[in-house]
């Protein structure tokens, strides 16, 4: 730990865990979260087991379940969500109309949830569970949205810095390709870019497929491959948008800063990395945050290549179930957006200490 | 030994000729004040010395070594890059608007260039930086950000920052013009002290009192050429050139 | 000079052709409006969105049922069926191209009925009326040519990655099979168009495509070097029907009557031979 900057960062990280230094508000939130966690853990011990939920099923369902053992296509679908302190189970029969039973287990008791408030509660739990991607594929739902947008904004911003500096450059050999890149990726729809990268790239390179990037025995490989393709498309796209943000921020820095750096003998690279980019960083944050929030919503475009984010999952559920599903979807989006807006606000504050 | 020598330096912005044939020699340890009406090309001349402006034609020598030779907006003689950089570092510059780095503390402002440009370690630079801050009377502000300082304090930090590169020549571009009148004194005092220590200084200034008291030589520039130069008392009490007379009358 | 003349002649020729094209279109319409007088099925009590016109919702992009000709006109098995039905009813045809996942929402507002390779299911029956089935279809599993994947029953989809079209019966079926545990560890990739699913299969992203057998047949016939049929689920037949608004019994009766007549005339054999040859 010789690097003093790293040490400072480490100290800052440690200071985050120093409760005495927290603001009062943060302390209250922490206490609330902690007590919720304790309550949830306590409830988890008295939660109804999967067996208890199965036992509440009616004779009819049990008969169907037994028949299923011998059928070539099973008829009864069991959804069982093992959320920490709430259980939700539903039996429904595929294809055959008529038999459908739902249960919500809460704090030790099992509620029949075919109608009324328990039904709504159960559905909300079940939908939320699916949209968050619990118990499902690694890349489903909220996980996909958060992962995809975070990767694309971080990598995109990194590329964007070079693109922006390239675009400002007086050398046409550098500035023209950068301009062309930005023009292309801002001027074409993201959906088609995703399509091209996912479908056309393997078509051009014979024998290459996105899936082949991963172990062929990996059952998730197909989604991981598609996710990589989607990531590349999103990174390339967000780089173009962020490049314009970076350019505007860099150009807003006073000319005197360049002169002072030059008079002190600093090279172009040193001037940019030590003087200009750190100062423009603060000015970039609000528009980048905006871009990020837009991208959280744009993430639903991955449905064109078979990936499912919150929007796609909620649409799928609503096609076979109820429109109520959109309410938890909205809430999840709001929570994600609120969280990242908060994080960006903190970063902005950190960058503006000198003002 | 002459620290700076310029021969036939000219500078055009499009069709506007800002500098026409400027010839000046600055000896080691000499303090020169450049005075003149606005638009005379004083700042442009100073800025062309360390390449903030690229001259259209003429030669610049630093410590008797050719630093730049351009004719018709083209560099005629190319100079070894390392040597060019080394000569460049002989000059420190102080700006009218300070141009401190707002995202760095005062101490970091001083240490940044020595560490990045000269590749020195923090341990090597910090004692020098602290000593310089003490000299300009701002040791207690080392960990403040520039936004917390007054104009005069900022300019003193800027001087210390330029000195941290240990230059042999200091260029001052109207260092007190952006300051409130009551803050001018503290900056001039620092400059005076620097002059007494034997630093070679080239100042563009409107502070006639300072020029008269500290300068070894006063240069009067107008319309892109040096109209008159000489000892301060000669220029101020007995100017030869009509333009000088006119200028001095208008400001005194 | 000569070139210019040739160019002008060409342009004139093209203009003529396009006019002739329009002309033939007109004549087509004339025929159908003439048929309006002689429509063999009585539609006087049927309420239509547009008087004298059968408006049909269709997702164009599911060959061979619905596809686009080079000039952009809709063609396909369903398109021919729609024109034949309308002819019997003495109506003109207006095809409304609609994405399949929202196609049922537009019945009664955007169009009178949906003819778009719609499988008759109990779930769909809850929300709309269906005509008599007009074609039988099976779930088909398509693999890449030369693939060593063996599918003996739908259960063998376990552990495979399956590409299919969103909002189709194939998807509903696979979802059910995953939910009920009929298949395990199966990765489903729904895409908006069936073409995307087949391209992804060709690129090696997915192991198999699950779709309706007529669609599978078309792709395999058109690209015999790319795809091959791995399995046809003969046990469970699916039937396509015309979907109408839940309360539109009059239209249902009319359509069924028209279908009966077409069946007697041998239209369906002809149409099948035309599109699935």
pLDDT per position as a tens digit, A249-274: 999 999 999 999 999 999 999 999 99
User: How far away is chain A from the Cα of C177, in angstroms, using its nearest Cα?
Assistant: 7
Does C35 score more than 50 pLDDT? Answer: no
- Number of C-alpha atoms within 13 angstroms, CB side, residue B249? 8
Question: Would you call A256 and B117 a contact, using CB atoms and an 8 Å cutoff?
Answer: no
Average pLDDT over residues A179-202: 93
CA distance A249 to chain B (A): 15
Q: Which residues contact B57 (CB under 8 A, 6 or more apart)?
A: B8, B9, B10, B70, B71, B72, B73
* Distance from C-alpha of B243 to C-alpha of B223, rounded to nearest angstrom: 10
pLDDT confidence bin for C11, thresholds 50/70/90? low
Query: What's the pLDDT at A147?
Result: 92
Chain B contact for A212 (CB, 8 A cutoff): no
Our CA-based measurement puts residue A4 at a distance from the nearest CA of chain B, in whole angstroms, of 10
Do A99 and A93 meet the contact criterion of CB atoms below 8 Å apart?
yes
Residue A73 to residue C236, Cβ atoms within 8 A:
yes
The answer to whether the Cβ–Cβ distance between A74 and C185 falls below 8 Å is no
Tell me what percent of the residues of chain C surpass a pLDDT of 90.
Answer: 30
Name which of C39-48, C202-211, C241-250 the model is least confident about: C39-48
CA distance B209 to B189: 12
Interval A27-50 mean pLDDT:
81
Distance from CA of A132 to the nearest CA of C (A): 18
Give whole-number Cα distances, A305 to C17, C129, C199, in Å. Answer: 41, 33, 11
Among B91, B116, B122, select the one facing A274 at the smallest CB separation. B116
For chain C, the first-to-last Cα distance in angstroms comes to: 50
Q: What's the CA gap between A300 and A145, in Å, rounded?
A: 8
Residue A262 in contact with partner chain B when CB distance is under 8 A: yes
pLDDT at res. C190: 86
Which one, of A159, A146, A302, A173, lies nearest residue A240 by Cα?
Answer: A159
Note the pLDDT of residue C28: 39
Residue C25 pLDDT > 50:
no
The edge-to-edge listing of strands for the beta sheet with C208-212 is C187-191, C161-165, C208-212, C135-144, C227-240
Residues from chain B that touch A259, judged by Cβ atoms under 8 A, are: 52, 95, 99
Q: Say whether residue B83 is in contact with chain A using an 8 A CB cutoff.
A: no
Q: How far is B248 from chain A (nearest CA, A)?
A: 31
Q: What is the signed CA dihedral for B114, B118, B119, B123, rounded to 10 degrees?
A: -40
pLDDT band at C21 (very low <50, low <70, confident <90, very high): very low
Closest alpha carbon within chain B to A259? B52
| Structure confidence at residue A98 (pLDDT) | 64
A325: Cβ contacts below 8 Å, ≥ 6 apart: A123, A127, A314, A317, A318
CA distance A23 to A9: 20
Length of chain C counted residue by residue: 277
Spell out the residues 6+ positions from residue C50 whose beta carbon is closer than 8 angstroms to its own: C94
Top pLDDT among A113 and A309 is at A309
What does each C-alpha distance from A18 to A12, A21, A304, C136, C241 come to in angstroms?
10, 6, 46, 70, 68
CB-CB under 8 Å, B100 with A260: yes
pLDDT band of residue A64 (cuts 50, 70, 90) is confident
Query: What is this structure's pTM?
Result: 0.77
DSSP state, A134? T
Per DSSP, the three-state class of B171 is: strand
pLDDT of residue A253: 93
- Mapped onto helix, strand or coil, the DSSP state of residue B97 is coil
pLDDT band, residue C229 (cuts 50/70/90): very high
Report the pLDDT value the prediction gives residue C32, as an integer from 0 to 100: 42
- d(C-alpha A317, C-alpha A100), whole Å: 16
Residues of chain A with Cβ-Cβ distance to B52 below 8 Å are 259, 262-263
Q: What are the residue ranges of helices labelled H in chain B?
A: 42-49, 81-88, 106-117, 122-135, 151-163, 181-196, 208-214, 232-237, 242-251
> Which residue numbers in chain B have pLDDT < 50?
none
CA distance B222 to A103: 93
What does the pLDDT read at residue C3?
53
pLDDT at A95: 56
Portion 44-63 of B in contact with A at CB < 8 A: 50-52
H or E segment and range at residue B94: strand B91-94
**DSSP secondary structure of A16-57:** HT-GGGS-HHHHHHHHHHHHHHHHHHHHHHTPPPHHHHHHTS
pLDDT band at A97 (very low <50, low <70, confident <90, very high): low
Judge whether A270 is closer than 8 Å to chain B, CB to CB: yes
Chain A contact for B101 (CB, 8 A cutoff): yes
Which of these, A245, A259, A243, A208, lies nearest to A229 by C-alpha position?
A208
Determine the pLDDT at residue C16. Answer: 46
By residue count, chain B amounts to: 252
ipTM: 0.91
Model pLDDT for residues C148-166, shown as the tens digit of each residue: 888 988 888 998 899 998 8
Beta-carbon separation of A265 and B93 below 8 A: no
User: Six-digit token pair at A183?
Assistant: 């023009």
Give the one of A74, A210, A307 whose C-beta lies nearest to C182's C-beta: A74
For residues A353 and B243, which has the higher predicted lDDT (pLDDT)? B243
Query: What's the mean pLDDT in C50-65?
Result: 88
DSSP string, chain C: -HHHHHHHHHHHHHHHHHHHHHHHHHHHHHHHHHHHHH-SS--TT---SBTTEEEEEE-S-BTTTBEE-TTS-EESHHHHHHHHHHHHHT-EEEEEE--GGGGGGGBTTTBSEE-SSPBP-HHHHTTEEE----EEEEEEEEEETT-----SSGGGGTT-EEEEETTSHHHHHHHHHHHHTSS-S-EEEEESSHHHHHHHHHHTS-SEEEEEHHHHHHHHHH-TTTEEEEEEEEEEEEEE--EEETT-HHHHHHHHHHHHHHHHHTHHHHHHHHHH-
Chain C residues with a Cβ under 8 Å from any Cβ in chain A: 101, 121-123, 126, 153-155, 159, 161, 163, 166-167, 172, 175-177, 179-182, 185, 187-192, 196, 199-200, 202-207, 235-236
Where do we find the tokens 């996909």? A144
Residues whose CB is less than 8 angstroms from the CB of residue C208 and which lie 6 or more positions away in sequence, other chains included: C141, C142, C143, C149, C151, C157, C160, C161, C162, C163, C201, C230
- pLDDT band at C12; cut points 50, 70, 90: low
CA atoms within 13 A on the CB side of C66: 26
Looking at residues C176-180, what average pLDDT do you find?
83
Contact A219 C159 (CB under 8 A): yes
Asked whether the predicted pLDDT for residue C23 surpasses 50, the reply is no
N-terminal to C-terminal alpha carbon distance within chain A: 30
At residue A96 the predicted structure's pLDDT band, cuts being 50, 70 and 90, is low
Please list, in sequence order, all residues whose beta carbon lies within 8 angstroms of the beta carbon of residue C31, skipping any fewer than 6 positions away. Answer: none
Whether A94 and A148 have beta carbons less than 8 Å apart is answered as no
Structure confidence by residue, pLDDT tens digits, A158-181: 999 999 999 999 899 999 999 999
Contact B88 A265 (CB under 8 A): yes
Residue A83, phi then psi, degrees to nearest 5: -60, 155
Query: Chains A, B in contact: 3+ Cβ pairs under 8 A?
Result: yes
- Cα dihedral across residues B98, B101, B107, B112: positive or negative: negative
What whole-number distance in Å separates Cα of residue B121 and Cα of residue B136? 23
Nearest to C134 by CA among C8, C270, C259, C12: C259
Chain length of chain A: 355
Output the pLDDT for position C19: 43
Considering chain A, what percentage of its residues have pLDDT values greater than 70?
Answer: 95
Question: Which range among A117-131, A209-223, C245-259 has the greatest average pLDDT?
Answer: C245-259
pLDDT-derived band at A4, boundaries 50, 70, 90: confident
Work out the mean pLDDT of chain A and round it to a whole number.
85
Among A131, A127, A153, A156, which residue's Cα sits nearest to residue A143?
A131
Lowest mean pLDDT among A124-128, A134-138, A232-236: A134-138
Mean of the per-residue pLDDT values for chain C? Answer: 82
Per the prediction, chain B carries an average pLDDT of: 90
Instruction: Label residue A80 exposed, middle or buried (CB < 10 Å: 0-12, 13-18, 19+).
Output: middle
Other CB atoms within 10 A of residue A272 CB:
18
* Dihedral, CA of residue A220, residue A224, residue A227 and residue A229, to nearest 10: -130
Task: Report which secondary-structure segment, H or E, holds B62.
Answer: strand B57-62
What integer is the mean pLDDT of A5-25? 79
Tokens 């030590």 belong to residue: A274
H/E stretch holding A78:
strand A76-82
* Distance in angstroms (rounded) separating the CA atoms of residues C22 and A53: 67
Q: Do A353 and B165 touch (CB under 8 A)?
A: no
The pLDDT score that the predictor gives to residue A94 is 65
CA distance B89 to A262: 10
Instruction: Examine the pLDDT at C20 and tell me if it is beyond 50.
Output: no
CB-CB: which of C121, C181, C205 is closest to A211?
A: C205
A234 half-sphere exposure, CB direction, 13 A CA radius: 29
C173 vs A43, more confident:
C173
- Answer yes or no: are the C-beta atoms of C74 and C81 closer than 8 Å: no
* C235 contacts A75? CB cut-off 8 A: no
């Amino acid at each position: 730990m010789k690097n003093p900057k790293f040490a400072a960062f480490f100290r800052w990280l440690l200071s985050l865990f120093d409760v005495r230094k927290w603001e009062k508000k943060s302390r209250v939130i922490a206490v609330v979260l902690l007590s919720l966690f304790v309550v949830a853990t306590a409830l988890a011990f008295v939660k109804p087991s999967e067996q208890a939920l199965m036992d509440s099923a009616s004779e009819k369902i049990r008969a169907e379940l037994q028949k299923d053992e011998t059928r070539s296509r099973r008829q009864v679908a069991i959804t069982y969500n093992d959320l920490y302190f709430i259980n939700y189970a539903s039996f429904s029969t595929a294809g055959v109309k008529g038999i459908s039973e739902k249960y919500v287990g809460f704090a030790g008791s099992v509620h029949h949830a075919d109608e009324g408030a328990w039904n709504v509660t159960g559905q909300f739990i079940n939908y939320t569970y699916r949209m968050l991607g619990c118990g499902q594929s690694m890349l489903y739902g909220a996980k996909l949205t958060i992962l995809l947008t975070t990767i694309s904004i971080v990598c995109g911003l990194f590329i964007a810095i070079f693109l922006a500096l390239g675009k400002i450059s007086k050398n046409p050999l550098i500035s023209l390709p950068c301009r062309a890149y930005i023009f292309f990726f801002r001027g074409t729809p993201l959906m088609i870019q995703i399509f091209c990268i996912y479908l056309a790239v393997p078509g051009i390179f014979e024998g290459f497929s996105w899936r082949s990037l991963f172990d062929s025995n990996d059952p998730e490989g197909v989604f991981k491959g598609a996710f990589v393709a989607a990531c590349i498309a999103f990174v390339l796209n967000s780089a173009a948008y962020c490049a314009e943000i970076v350019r505007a921020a860099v150009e807003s820095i006073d000319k005197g800063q360049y002169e002072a750096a030059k008079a002190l003998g600093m090279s172009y690279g040193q001037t940019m990395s030590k003087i200009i980019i750190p100062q423009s960083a603060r000015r970039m944050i609000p528009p980048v945050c905006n871009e990020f929030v837009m991208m959280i919503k744009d993430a639903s475009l991955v449905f064109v290549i078979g990936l499912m984010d919150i929007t796609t999952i909620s649409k799928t559920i609503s096609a076979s179930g109820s429109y109520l599903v959109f309410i938890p979807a909205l809430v999840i989006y709001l929570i994600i957006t609120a969280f990242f807006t908060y994080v960006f606000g903190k970063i902005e504050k950190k960058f503006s200490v000198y003002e | 030994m002459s620290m700076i020598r310029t021969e036939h330096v000219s500078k055009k912005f499009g069709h506007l000729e800002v500098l026409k044939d400027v010839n000046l020699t600055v000896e080691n340890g000499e303090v020169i004040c450049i005075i003149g009406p606005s638009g005379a090309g004083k700042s442009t001349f100073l800025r062309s010395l360390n390449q903030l402006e690229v001259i259209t034609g003429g030669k610049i020598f630093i410590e008797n070594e050719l630093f730049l030779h351009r004719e018709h907006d083209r560099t005629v003689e190319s100079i070894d890059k390392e040597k060019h950089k080394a000569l460049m570092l002989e000059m420190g510059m102080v700006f009218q608007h300070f141009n401190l780095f707002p995202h760095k503390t005062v101490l970091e402002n001083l240490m940044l260039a020595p560490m990045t440009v000269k590749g020195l370690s923090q341990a090597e630079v910090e004692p020098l930086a602290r000593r310089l801050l003490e000299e300009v009377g701002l040791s207690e502000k080392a960990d403040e950000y520039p936004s917390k300082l007054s104009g005069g304090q900022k300019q003193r930090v800027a001087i210390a920052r330029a000195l941290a590169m240990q230059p042999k020549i200091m260029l001052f571009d109207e260092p007190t013009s952006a300051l409130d009148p009551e803050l001018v004194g503290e900056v001039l005092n620092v400059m005076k002290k620097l002059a007494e220590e034997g630093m070679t200084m080239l100042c563009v200034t409107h502070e006639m009192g300072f020029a008269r008291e500290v300068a070894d030589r006063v240069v009067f520039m107008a319309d892109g050429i040096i109209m008159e130069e000489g000892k301060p008392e000669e220029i101020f009490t007995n100017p030869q050139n009509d333009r000088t007379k006119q200028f001095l009358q208008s400001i005194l | 000079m000569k070139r210019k003349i040739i160019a002008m002649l060409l342009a004139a020729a093209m203009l003529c052709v396009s006019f002739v094209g329009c002309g033939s279109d007109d004549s087509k319409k004339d025929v159908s409006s003439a048929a309006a007088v002689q429509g063999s099925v009585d539609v006087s009590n049927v309420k239509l969105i547009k008087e004298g016109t059968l408006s049909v919702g269709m997702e164009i992009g599911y060959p061979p049922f619905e596809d686009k000709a080079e000039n952009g006109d809709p063609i396909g098995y369903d398109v021919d069926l729609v024109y034949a039905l309308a002819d019997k009813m003495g109506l003109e045809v207006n095809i409304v191209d609609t994405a399949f996942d929202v196609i049922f929402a537009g019945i009664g507002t955007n169009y009178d009925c949906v003819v778009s390779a719609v499988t008759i299911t109990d779930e769909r029956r809850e929300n709309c009326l269906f005509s008599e089935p007009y074609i039988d279809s099976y779930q088909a599993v398509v693999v890449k040519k030369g693939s060593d994947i063996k599918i003996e029953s739908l259960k063998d989809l376990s552990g495979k990655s399956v590409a299919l079209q969103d909002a189709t019966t194939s998807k509903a079926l696979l979802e059910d099979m995953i939910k009920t545990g009929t298949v395990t560890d199966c990765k489903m990739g729904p895409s908006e168009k069936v073409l995307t699913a087949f391209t992804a299969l060709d690129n090696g992203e997915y192991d198999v495509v699950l779709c309706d057998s007529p669609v599978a047949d078309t792709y395999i016939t058109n690209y015999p070097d790319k795809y091959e049929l791995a399995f046809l689920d003969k046990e469970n037949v699916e039937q396509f029907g015309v979907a109408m608004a839940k309360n539109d019994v009059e239209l249902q009766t009319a359509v069924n009557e028209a279908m009966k007549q077409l069946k007697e005339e041998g239209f369906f054999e002809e149409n099948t031979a035309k599109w699935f040859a």
